[in-house]
Amino acid sequence: MRRAPSRVLCSCVNRSTLTAKRNGMYCFVKTHNPRPTFHFDMTPEERSIMEKHVAYWSDKAEKGIAIVFGPVMDPAGVYGVGIYQVKDEQEMQELIDGDPALGLLEYNVFPMPRAVIGKDFRP
């Protein structure tokens, strides 16, 4: 499967306004599937790629980078979301570049400069 360049719309913000244990930033990522029915009719090759995608981000969750991620069961079409804690835009780009689903999924990344973290999830 051809790997297309990812599109990252995340811009750096003043670190003094951010709340992140790694002294960086949080990003909200929305992934777009190749078609609205994707989660229900994946080919075997697509399913294999998505299993690797989940394993990749699960590893990032174990390391405290992926805060939460997963599919959103929107009736108009399933898509993915994630909240990630990174040092900067470059780290987010590197994470996406390493995702096995790059080229299958399309990514939109948005900074969260004033993320409020629930007390049970604070570092």
Q: 32: domain CATH number?
A: 3.30.70.1060
67 within domain boundaries: yes
70 within domain boundaries: yes
Q: For the chain, what is the domain count?
A: 1
123 within domain boundaries: no
62 within domain boundaries: yes
| Exposure letters 97-120 (e unless 16+ CB within 10 A, then b) | eebbbbebbbbbbebbeebeeeee
pLDDT in tens, 25-46: 999 999 999 998 899 999 999 9
10 within domain boundaries: no
Coil, helix or strand at residue 123: coil
Range of the domain at 105: 15-114
* pTM (two decimals): 0.79
pLDDT in tens, 43-95: 999 999 999 999 999 999 999 999 999 999 999 889 999 999 999 989 999 99
Residue 23 has pLDDT above 80, yes or no: no
42 within domain boundaries: yes
Residue 15 has pLDDT above 90, yes or no: no
Coil, helix or strand at residue 105: strand
103 within domain boundaries: yes
